[in-house]
Amino acid sequence: MKTKNSKVRVVPVTIKIVISFTLFILISNFSTNYINLIFNRTELFKLMNQLLIKDLKSMYSYCNNQHAIYQFDNDFESSISSIEQNGRRELKNQKAVLLGVKRDGKILLQASHIAKIDTFNDQTVLNHINTQLDQNQDEGQIHFKFNGEEYFGVYKYNTKWDAFLLRAEELNEFYAESRAIFKNISYIIIAISILMAIIGVLMLRYLLRYIHYITVEIQRMISSQELGIIDLKNASNDDITYLGVAFNSLSSLINNLIHIFQKFTNQDIVNKAYREREVKLEGTSQELTILFSDIKSFTFITETLGNEIINLLNMYYDDAIRKVVKNQGVIGSIIGDAILSVFGVLKSEQNKSHLAVLTAYELQDATEELRNRMSDIKATIEKEQGELTDDEWRVYEAVLLEIGVGIDGGQVFYGTLGSYVRMTNTVIGDNVNAASRLEGLTRVYKIPVICSKFVMNDIKNNVSDHGIEFYEIDTVQVKGKTTGKKVFWPITRELFTEDLKKQMTDFQIGLEQYYNGNWPEANQSFNKCSLPLAEVFKFRTQETCPDNWNGIWQMQTK
């Protein structure tokens, strides 16, 4: 069955129940059959060991007799041949063997239906039985490889022939019959289970027939976007009918909530509306973490794409907003090319600043994935029509989105503003503006994410295994502020390579010299760092350090 407004196929619950129980029955029967097989194999293995020991004893005596004959007539080849012929008569399976193995691995005799081999190649087993013999243990059970196959059997050292007598069976051949039985029983189990499943479907369809009726009614309501009451007058007195009654009791409540959901989308507002049954124009001061992301070169993108910018932004925002919500953030606002996200509103055991930093890198992944998709489209076009035109190149460059992310936090006002006709939730505070300024600095320092000292301390003090390395990159006085503020580059463990660690070590040395006013030495240290981050400092330290230098760089632009 398919819904009217969707291509999603709805699987009847009857089929799910039958499939589930059929799988359980199959797993149970197969498990029981397999356990039974294991137990049977264990008993067969014990029985086979007894038979092998019996065969070995018989052959041991026969070998002693043949040795006496050999001592009498001095015909070595005849005695060995007689032992091999007698041994072959005792072998029932095609790959069964009776071996006489010298202590150095040379095969003295081989009674089998397979081609003869001169040397016993399983050196590990040979060393083991030699060690056992040196410790006066001249017999036992063994597993070994012979002729490329796995064997199990028993052995005993024959002092007269100065060789180990091995009587063994090949494992796969030994287990072949039990595997065949398991296979046949499995076919029977499957056939019976299928038959029972068919009967189960018919029975459950009848017993659960009213579920289909309720489902159809709900789909009708979804299509009309109006909740109604399901007619249950002909339903039987069971749990399914009770489900329909419960749905009817919720219909009026959901109708009230629908109007609220149309005004608010953030999860915290939805939860509050559900809990309090109303939304008030109010707010509180809270310690929150603010993430501000902005698309770089947006003017160029807009001029190039025109109205198509909407489609590109929606492709990006669809993925980006999902990542924010997944990490328990709420969307404060979407301003054209920028997203303002707030972490800490939804109460959680996870640290708000840690979630914000992780989200920042997931947003970078989203843009990278979008760029990869655009590159695939470009490659397809080039394959079909050749090189791109100048206009197509300009469009291609425009769709390769790159973003910067700034993160700050602290005490801010978070609440609902507007009127009871139309309202929205928002966040207000100096830290909100600071997050925007930090995002702007990503263009200056050419790094993807910049955070404040508050964010670093919040993570280090409250998250034990946060997996993030923080590097101070500068002390900046942004435009409109009177004091400097240290800014940091948070680097996740997945991105923190040994090479990056070395580069940042050189950078940190240069930064310390830069702060102390030793600009010539700082310039040398920055030149050792090949990261784009160091370029701005290489440029600054080419000049002479100002006389009133206090380590704070004043930005002249936002």
Work out the pLDDT band at 28, boundaries 50, 70, 90: confident
Q: What is the pLDDT at residue 5?
A: 47
The count of other CB atoms within 10 Å of the CB of residue 357 is: 30
pLDDT tens-place string over residues 260-290: 564 455 555 555 555 555 556 566 788 999 9
Work out the pLDDT band at 352, boundaries 50, 70, 90: very high
**Cα angle, residue 176 at apex, residues 170 and 178 outer, rounded to 5°:** 125
Strands 283-295 and 329-335, bridge-based pairing: unpaired
Q: Which domains does the chain have, with CATH numbers?
A: 17-178 (3.30.450.20), 279-463 (3.30.70.1230), 488-558 (no CATH)
Those residues whose C-beta lies under 8 Å from the C-beta of residue 368, and which sit 6 or more positions away, are: none
Q: What is the pLDDT at residue 263?
A: 46
320: Cα separation from own chain's centroid? 20
Residue 183, pLDDT > 60, answer: yes
DSSP summary character for residue 4: T
Arithmetic mean of pLDDT over the chain: 82
Tell me whether residue 77 is exposed, middle or buried, using C-beta atoms within 10 angstroms of its C-beta: 0 to 12, 13 to 18, 19 or more: exposed
* Length of the chain measured in residues: 558
Nearest to residue 293, comparing CAs of 428, 397, 184, 440? 440
Residue entry with tokens 């064997």: 151
Tell me if residue 473 falls in helix, strand or coil: strand
Nearest to residue 214, comparing CAs of 245, 188, 254, 251? 245
Q: What is the pLDDT at residue 454?
A: 95
Q: What is the pLDDT at residue 272?
A: 59
Work out the pLDDT band at 502, boundaries 50, 70, 90: very high
